[in-house]
Amino acid sequence: MLRPLDCLFDPPVDSDSENAPVHLIRALRPDELAAALDCLAPAQSAFLKLTGFAAKSGTVQILPLAADGRVTALLGLGETVGGAPFGALPYALPALSRWRLAEGTADPSAAALGYCLGAYRYNDLKSEVKRPALLEHPMMSSAGTQARAIWMARDLVNMPANLLGPEELSEVVVTLAQGFGAKANIVAGEELSESYPAIAAVGRGSDRKPRVAILRWRGSRADEHSPKIALCGKGVCFDSGGYDLKPSSSMLRMKKDMGGAAVLMAVAAVIMAEDLPIEMTLRIGCVENSVSGSAMRPLDVLRTRSGKTVEVGNTDAEGRLVLCDLLTDAVAEGPDFILDAATLTGAARAALGPDIPALFSSDEKWSHRLVHSASSEDDPLWQLPLWPGYEGWLDSAVADLNNVSASPLAGAIVGALFLQRFVPQRIPWAHIDLYAWNDTTRPARPEGGEAPGVRSIAAAIRQFAEERCSAGH
- What percent of the chain has a predicted confidence (pLDDT) above 90? 88
How does pLDDT run across 235-287, given as a tens digit for each residue?
999 999 999 999 999 999 999 999 999 999 999 999 999 999 999 999 999 99
pTM score, whole prediction: 0.96
Q: How far apart are the first and last CA of the chain?
A: 34
Q: How many CB atoms lie within 10 A of CB 421?
A: 18
Q: Is the pLDDT of residue 344 over 90?
A: yes
Between the alpha carbon of residue 391 and those of residues 114, 410, 417, the distances in Å are: 41, 11, 7
CA 35 to chain centre: 39
Position 22 pLDDT exceeds 90: no
Is 98 among the catalytic positions?
Answer: no
Give 187's strand partners. 212
The predicted-structure confidence for 381-421, as pLDDT tens digits, reads as follows: 999 999 999 999 999 999 999 999 999 999 999 999 999 99
Where are the strands (E) in 102-250, listed by range?
A: 134-136, 183-187, 211-218, 228-239
pLDDT band at 1; cut points 50, 70, 90: confident
Q: Which stretch of 48-52, 261-265, 354-358, 364-368 has the lowest confidence by average pLDDT?
A: 48-52
Which residue stretches of 166-242 are H helix? Answer: 166-179, 189-195, 197-203
- Walk me through the domains of the chain, giving residue ranges and CATH numbers: 8-137 (3.40.220.10), 150-470 (3.40.630.10)
Given pLDDT bands bounded at 50, 70 and 90, which one contains residue 20?
A: low
Q: Identify the active-site residue in 216, 228, 246, 303.
A: 246
Tens-place pLDDT, residues 255-267: 999 999 999 999 9
246 is catalytic: yes
pLDDT tier for residue 41 given thresholds of 50, 70 and 90:
confident
pLDDT band at 361 (very low <50, low <70, confident <90, very high): very high
The catalytic position among 98, 256, 320, 421 is 320
Alpha carbon separation from 469 to 419, 435, 465 (Å, rounded): 31, 34, 6
What value does the mean pLDDT take over residues 355-377?
Answer: 98
> Using CA atoms, how far apart are residues 346 and 364, in angstroms rounded to an integer?
26
pLDDT at position 19 over 70: no
Residue 259's contacts (CB-CB under 8 Å, 6 or more residues apart) are 153, 157, 234, 342, 343, 434, 435, 436, 437, 449, 450, 451
